[in-house]
């Protein structure tokens, strides 16, 4: 029996899973052979698959369990970041999910070991220029914004608690239980810190290397932040600050974003 024939038994999940099950059939992957690597490949290579990834995972897990197969592993699959169309909160959740699953397997750090990565992502998202992010001091970081070199970068979404908590943190635990070891941050005066002395010009690049599996890069985060700020301005009746070369792309973003609100 083909995968698509099996899916016909589950009308509630059929709409979400039809594209995936057709893909499995084309690639001759049976449902009981489906593995984490296959699903991750599907998200990375099939157009628009990642935009509905979390809902797809939930439906797939239920079908696998109802078929008497293991389904819990589905929740550990990382859905690649859907470039530009998520909020900052959703982007940070994507990093959190990665930190608790594949990120932990690869780097052997507790989830807090990705806090510097999240802080770097936030700085770029709210508009701090790439070349300046490594030089933001703890004293520049407040409860509602960052004030740096005469500019104020307002927070987006509910990130204030994280910013203050990270600002006060001194490091994170690494290793495997029960042999966890506390790794202390260096260069304590700066907001972005790592456990090794880092070039302030290259710290963003080093931190973003940990997100390579998610297809998250500096440019996409900067543009995502720019578009979200512009969209939020329009929601508040203000004119969006979008340059002419980006206007067409922003209008496409706005159309899709409006459908999600």
Q: Render pLDDT for 5-57 as a digit per residue (tens, 0 to 9).
A: 999 999 999 999 999 999 999 999 999 999 998 998 888 788 777 767 888 99
- The confidence band for 81, taking pLDDT boundaries of 50, 70 and 90, is low
**Do the bridges between strand 179-184 and strand 171-176 make them parallel or antiparallel, or are there none, so unpaired?**
antiparallel
Name the nearest CA neighbour of 125 among 98, 88, 160. 88
Name the nearest CA neighbour of 111 among 122, 97, 100. 100
For residue 260, pLDDT beyond 70:
no
Q: Is 179 helix (H, G, I), strand (E, B) or coil?
A: strand
Please state, in angstroms and rounded to a whole number, the distance separating the CA atoms of residues 99 and 223. 23
Residue with tokens 């991750």: 40
Please state, in angstroms and rounded to a whole number, the distance separating the CA atoms of residues 111 and 96. 7
Q: Which residues contact 37 (CB under 8 A, 6 or more apart)?
A: none
Arithmetic mean of pLDDT over the chain = 91
């Amino acid at each position: 029996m083909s995968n698509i024939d099996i899916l016909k038994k589950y009308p509630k999940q059929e709409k979400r899973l039809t594209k995936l099950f057709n893909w499995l059939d084309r690639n001759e992957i049976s449902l009981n052979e489906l593995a984490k690597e296959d699903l991750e490949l599907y998200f990375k290579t099939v157009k628009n698959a990642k935009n509905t990834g979390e809902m797809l995972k939930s439906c797939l897990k239920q079908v696998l369990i109802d078929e008497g197969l293991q389904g819990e592993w589905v929740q550990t699959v990382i859905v690649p970041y859907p470039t530009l169309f998520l909020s900052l909160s959703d982007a940070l959740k994507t990093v959190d999910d990665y930190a608790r699953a594949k990120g932990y397997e690869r780097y052997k750090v507790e989830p807090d070991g990705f806090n510097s990565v999240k802080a770097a992502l936030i700085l770029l998202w709210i508009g701090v220029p790439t070349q300046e992010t490594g030089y933001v001091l703890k004293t520049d970081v407040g409860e509602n914004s960052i004030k740096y070199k005469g500019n104020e970068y307002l927070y987006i979404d509910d990130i204030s608690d994280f910013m203050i908590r990270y600002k006060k943190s001194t490091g994170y635990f690494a290793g495997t239980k029960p042999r966890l070891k506390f790794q202390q941050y260096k260069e304590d005066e700066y907001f972005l810190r790592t456990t090794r002395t880092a070039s302030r010009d290259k710290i963003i690049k080093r931190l973003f290397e940990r997100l390579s599996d998610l297809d998250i890069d500096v440019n996409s985060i900067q543009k995502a932040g720019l578009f979200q700020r512009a969209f939020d301005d329009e929601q508040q009746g203000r004119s969006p600050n979008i340059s002419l070369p980006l206007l067409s792309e922003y209008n496409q973003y706005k159309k899709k974003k409006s459908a999600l609100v």
